[in-house]
């Protein structure tokens, strides 16, 4: 399925947000995720269904200053 991930179009086989993160090798509880502008909490990712052309943002904290 085609998604817009962090502003870039990508084809990934994933039915849920958790599947997508696994397919893209994202790990850790520290990620922030949003689908179509809606924040998706870690506990909801496994049951959060994705659709073609969904806009997904995956953010990780950065250190520095």
First to last CA, the chain: 38
Q: How many CA atoms lie within 13 A of 19 on its CB side?
A: 12
Mean pLDDT rounded to a whole number for the chain: 93
Give the Cα separation of 10 and 42 in Å (integer): 22
What pLDDT is attached to residue 64?
65
Residue spans of the domains in the chain: they are 2-59
CATH assignment, 2-59: 3.10.20.30
pLDDT at residue 65 is higher than 90: no
Top pLDDT among 63 and 44 is at 44
**pTM of the complete model:** 0.89
CA separation for the pair 46, 64 (Å, rounded): 31
pLDDT, position 30: 86
Euclidean distance between CA atoms 10 and 20, whole angstroms: 11
pLDDT at 59 over 70: yes
User: Strand, coil or helix: what is 48?
Assistant: coil
């Amino acid at each position: 399925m085609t998604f817009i991930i962090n502003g870039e179009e990508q084809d990934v086989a994933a039915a849920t947000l958790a599947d997508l993160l696994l397919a893209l090798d994202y790990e850790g509880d520290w990620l922030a995720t949003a689908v179509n502008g809606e924040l998706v909490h870690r506990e909801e990712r496994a049951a959060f269904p994705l659709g073609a052309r969904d806009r997904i943002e995956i953010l990780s904290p950065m250190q520095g200053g």
